[in-house]
Amino acid sequence: MEFLVASGVGAMTAAGVYLLLRGRTFPVIIGLALLSYAINVFLFATGRLVINRPPVIAADAAGYTDPLPQALVLTAIVISFGMTALIVVLALRAYLEAGSDAVDTEEATVEPAASHDTRPGLPRDGDAA
């Protein structure tokens, strides 16, 4: 079980880091979200893995798992939602302002040479107003 959780965290981290290093904003955001999952599970797992012992006080409970990492992770989940929401809106605004969602500006010029007049989406830089 421990191995499964650990390798799961590893897989999410690897996928997150890979997406983080992409050149467009959307994959970067997804990468950050994946990293948040990984780190949340990581923090949670520092309280060790325990089955069927939720930290809810009861007379007949056999024992409790460590509640502290859970409390930490709970707020971390909500805060990472706030962060994801903020950066996705940031990316959206940047896209609307610049007409490109490339992370690096100099690479933004390397656009695929699609030049239909009625191409979907937002007008790009250089389009006649």
Taking Cα atoms as reference points, which of 70, 95, 76 lies closest to residue 33? 76
First to last CA, the chain: 59
3-state secondary structure of 102: strand
Nearer to another protein, 115 or 120 (CB): 120
Q: Is there binding between residue 109 and another protein (CB under 8 A)? A: no
Q: How far is the CB of 113 from another protein (least distance, A)?
A: 11
23 part of the interface to another protein, by CB under 8 A: yes
How far apart, in Å, are the Cα atoms of 15 and each of 12, 35, 80, 99?
Answer: 5, 8, 17, 27
Region 24-83 residues binding another protein, contact defined as CB under 8 A? 24-27, 29-30, 33-34, 37-38, 40-42, 44-58, 64-68, 70-71, 73-75, 77-79, 81-83
CB of 100 to another protein, least distance (A): 9
Report the run of H or E that residue 111 belongs to, with start and end.
Answer: none
Least separation in angstroms between CB 115 and another protein: 14
